[in-house]
Structure 1
Amino acid sequence: MSVRNRFGTAAAIALMTTVGAVLLSACGPDNSDPGSTAAPSAPGSAAPGTAAPGGGSHSGSPAPGGKEINGTSTANHLTISTGTKTVAMNGTTVDFGTVVRDLAWSPDGKKAVFVNGDGDLMTANADGSGKATLAKASSGDAWSHPTWQHAAKGPGGDSVPNETERYNNIVFTSSKDGVLRLESVPAKGGAVAEFTPSNSEGGDAGTEPQPPKTGNTWANAGGQQAEIAYANTPAGEVYIYDDYIRPATRDIGKGSQPALSPDGNQIVFVRSVNGHDHLFTRSTEHDKKAEKDLTPSATTDYTEPAWSPDGKTVATRTPDGISTVPADGSAAPTQVSTIKGLPSYRP
Structure 2
Amino acid sequence: MSVPLREGVPLGSCRHRPGADSERARGDAGVPVASSACRRTRFRLGGSYVNHRLRRASVALASVLAVSAGTLSLTAGEAAAAGSWAASDGRLLGTDGSNLYRISPDGSGSRYLRQGTAPAWSPDGSRAALVDPYQSNELVTIRQDGAFEQRITQKNGGGAVSDPTFWYGGDSVVFRTGGRLRTAASDGSTWPQPLFAAKKAGCDSQPSGSDGPLLVFVRTGPDCSHTGAAAVWLYNDANGSFRKLAADATQPALSADATRVVFVRTVDGVRQLFSVRVDGTGLKQLTTDTTQHQRPSWSPKGDRIAYVATGTDQRHLELLDVATGAATAVPNSDGWTDVAWQPLRYNYVARVYGSGSVSTNVAASRWTWDSYGRKHVPGLLAAKSAVLVNGGSPSYALTASALAGTKQGPVLTTGAGSLSSAASGELKRVLRKGATVYLVGNTKVLSSKLSDQVKKLGYKPVRLSGGDRYAASVAVAKASTSKPQWVFLATGKDYHDALAAAAAAGSSSGSRAVVVLTDGRSLSGSVTAYLNKLSPKSTRMLPVGADARKALLGAYDHGKLPRWPNSWDYWYVGGSSHEAVAVNLANFWWSYTSTVGLAPGNDWQSGLNAGSAMSRFGPLLWSGTKTLPGMTRNYLINHAAGINSVAVISPYSKVPKDVVTAIGTAISADANWFRTVNYAGGAIPKSATTGAVARSATAGTGSAPAPSPAPARGPVAPDLSKAQRLTVG
Task: Calculate the TM-score normalised by the size of structure 2.
Answer: 0.31
Shift of 1:253: 1.6
Matched, 1:92 2:83: no
Asked whether the 8 Å contact 1:122–1:132 carries over to 2, the reply is yes
Root-mean-square deviation (CA, aligned residues, Å) is 2.5
Output the CA distance in 2 between the equivalents of 1:197 and 1:226: 17
Output the CA distance in 1 between the equivalents of 2:143 and 2:90: 19
Shift of 1:140: 6.8
Output the CA distance in 2 between the equivalents of 1:243 and 1:136: 23
* Correspondence 1:97-246 to 2 at 5 A: 97=114, 99-116=115-132, 117-119=134-136, 120-136=138-154, 141-151=159-169, 168-175=171-178, 180-189=179-188, 190-196=190-196, 213-222=201-210, 224-233=211-220, 234=227, 235-244=229-238, 246=239
Deviates more, 1:330-339 or 1:183-192: 330-339
1:227 corresponds to which letter in structure 2? L
After superposition, the C-alpha distances for 1:174-220 in whole angstroms (9 at most, x for unaligned) are 13xxxx1111111121111011179xxxxxxxxxxx75x13100000
Output the CA distance in 2 between the equivalents of 1:150 and 1:231: 19
More helix per residue: 2
Shift of 1:301: 1.1
Asked whether the 8 Å contact 2:297–2:305 carries over to 1, the reply is yes
Matched, 1:314 2:305: yes
> Residue 322 of structure 2: which of 327, 330, 345 is its match?
327
Matched, 1:294 2:286: yes
Asked whether the 8 Å contact 1:197–1:247 carries over to 2, the reply is no
Equivalent residue number for residue 261 of structure 1: 255
Shift of 1:139: 5.7
> Residue 340 of structure 2: which of 329, 333, 344 is its match?
344
Q: Are residues 191 and 107 of structure 1, via their aligned partners in 2, closer, same or farther at CA, if it must alter by over 3 Å?
A: same
Output the CA distance in 2 between the equivalents of 1:122 and 1:192: 13
Which gives a bigger RCO, structure 1 or 2 (Cα 8 Å, sep 6+)?
A: 2
Asked whether the 8 Å contact 2:93–2:100 carries over to 1, the reply is no
Equivalent residue number for residue 252 of structure 1: 245
Alignment coverage as a number of residue pairs: 239
Asked whether the 8 Å contact 2:89–2:341 carries over to 1, the reply is no
Deviates more, 1:127-136 or 1:301-310: 127-136
Matched, 1:78 2:71: no
Q: Are residues 75 and 339 of structure 1, via their aligned partners in 2, closer, same or farther at CA, if it must alter by over 3 Å?
A: farther
Asked whether the 8 Å contact 1:217–1:230 carries over to 2, the reply is yes
Output the CA distance in 2 between the equivalents of 1:310 and 1:137: 38
Report percent identity of matched pairs: 25
Shift of 1:86: 3.6
Q: Are residues 260 and 86 of structure 1, via their aligned partners in 2, closer, same or farther at CA, if it must alter by over 3 Å?
A: closer
Output the CA distance in 1 between the equivalents of 2:306 and 2:113: 23
Output the CA distance in 2 between the equivalents of 1:132 and 1:139: 16
Q: Are residues 140 and 133 of structure 1, via their aligned partners in 2, closer, same or farther at CA, if it must alter by over 3 Å?
A: closer
> Residue 304 of structure 1: which of 287, 295, 298 is its match?
295
* Correspondence 1:61-72 to 2 at 5 A: none
Asked whether the 8 Å contact 2:89–2:299 carries over to 1, the reply is no
Shift of 1:123: 0.8
Asked whether the 8 Å contact 1:105–1:112 carries over to 2, the reply is yes
Output the CA distance in 2 between the equivalents of 1:264 and 1:280: 16
Output the CA distance in 1 between the equivalents of 2:89 and 2:272: 27
- Unaligned runs of at least 5 residues, structure 2: 1-7, 10-87, 221-226, 344-729
Q: Are residues 174 and 149 of structure 1, via their aligned partners in 2, closer, same or farther at CA, if it must alter by over 3 Å?
A: same
Task: Calculate the TM-score normalised by the size of structure 1.
Answer: 0.63
Shift of 1:95: 3.9
- What is the DSSP-based 3-state SS (H/G/I as helix, E as strand, rest coil) of the residue aligned with 1:130? coil
Shift of 1:290: 2.9
- What is the DSSP-based 3-state SS (H/G/I as helix, E as strand, rest coil) of the residue aligned with 2:300? coil
Shift of 1:75: 6.7
Output the CA distance in 2 between the equivalents of 1:259 and 1:87: 20
Output the CA distance in 1 between the equivalents of 2:155 and 2:273: 32
Shift of 1:343: 1.0
- What is the DSSP-based 3-state SS (H/G/I as helix, E as strand, rest coil) of the residue aligned with 1:241? strand
Q: Which has the larger radius of gyration?
A: 2
More strand per residue: 1
2:336 corresponds to which letter in structure 1? K
After superposition, the C-alpha distances for 1:215-256 in whole angstroms (9 at most, x for unaligned) are 10000012x422110011334110010112x11111002111
- What is the DSSP-based 3-state SS (H/G/I as helix, E as strand, rest coil) of the residue aligned with 1:141? coil
Shift of 1:108: 1.0
Output the CA distance in 1 between the equivalents of 2:130 and 2:97: 10
Q: Are residues 138 and 225 of structure 1, via their aligned partners in 2, closer, same or farther at CA, if it must alter by over 3 Å?
A: same
2:146 corresponds to which letter in structure 1? G
Output the CA distance in 2 between the equivalents of 1:231 and 1:191: 23
